[in-house]
Amino acid sequence: MTQPPINPALIKALEKSLCKFPRATLTHTPTPLEKLARLSDEFEGYQLYVKRDDCTGLAMGGNKARQLEFYLGDALARGCDTVLSTGAVQSNYMRMIAAATAKLGLECHIQLEQRVDNSSEDYRHSGNVLLDHLFGANLHHFPLGEDEDGADKSVAALADELTSRGKWPYIIPLGRTLEPKGALGYVVAAIELVQQIENQDLPIDLIVVGSGSGMTHAGLLAGLKLMGVTTPVLGICVRRDALQQHLRIFEHCQNLLKMLGQPGAVNADDVWVDDSALAPGYGQATTRVKQDMHLLATREGLLTDPVYSGKTFSGVMNLIRSGGAEKFRHIAVIHTGGTPAIFAYRKELIDG
């Protein structure tokens, strides 16, 4: 790392703060931190690494498993027997909620929003949707894709209905919340990553993560700052433009730090987002993104999806190609998973 060694006392203090939050065990961690040797050869002068959070173990892996440990830990502590949430048709999060609730013996209701203009059979029935069914989730549908408040209200109405039938529902929010419990999972991941970087003696000078709902980005950034890590974190936008996403991440960070009893550790200037890989929008990928997915697959045997992880890696490559990474020669990317979604985009990926 391009900074003094981390003070172990800061790590212990952070771990102690995390202990007050109920947590269910769902992940296989620590996930590996690996060098992308052949991909690095494609970009002379750069050393690229990947934190394999596609290997978290639950339901084909992904970053959401870390977040769900804290949400479902809270649900169990409250005595809830039913879990609800909302996301896109091919949401990795909904798939992992379905799997986690099955593992813990909880009833599951997930609402699928029409965020992407894609009516193909693959998109509507394969990939994550197929797995939602296999895990036994109850599927509901919301006709709009960019109405976060409306989607949340719809889930709340369903929760009221379930309550009237004698259930004890727990809602996992995807919108802005005063208690972003999911972000706690990436405070834990920040500790894990720092220890791996130090153990491997890697001079990492930039950490990159996909930035969508914002829990992963905010938790990682806040966790690093609480340990005194000065390495910048770059969030690659996958749903909103840079201005909207900056505001969202900063707000999540402030609420998370209040939960941890350490407000003010993240400043607005610490939040760095890039939307160069976002177009043409959520759940849609440019030819460049698909080419970069192919590059990763053929050089490293690494699978990424066109919604999150593919755009994240393509965003890193865009930064290098444009000369925007001149100051950052050793880059670690968080692989957030998304493998099942590849099958929902079969035609787009085959046809290029």
- Give the catalytic positions in this structure: 91
- CA torsion, points 136, 142, 147, 151, in degrees to nearest 10? -50
First to last CA, the chain: 38
Buried b (16+ CB within 10 A) or exposed e, 44-69: eebbbbbbbbbbbebbbbbbbbbbbb
- The whole-angstrom separation of Cα 54 and Cα 62 is 4
Length of the chain: 352
Nearest to 62 by CA among 118, 116, 128: 128
Please check whether residue 187 is in contact with residue 226, taking contact to mean a CB–CB distance below 8 angstroms: yes
- The whole-angstrom separation of Cα 85 and Cα 110 is 5
- Residue 278 token pair: 């976002």
- The whole-angstrom separation of Cα 253 and Cα 343 is 34
Strand pairing class (47-52; 33-35): antiparallel
- The whole-angstrom separation of Cα 311 and Cα 305 is 8
Please check whether residue 272 is in contact with residue 233, taking contact to mean a CB–CB distance below 8 angstroms: yes
267, with CB counted inside 10 A (0-12, 13-18, 19+), is exposed
Position of tokens 């849609």? 284
Strand partners, 111: 86, 140
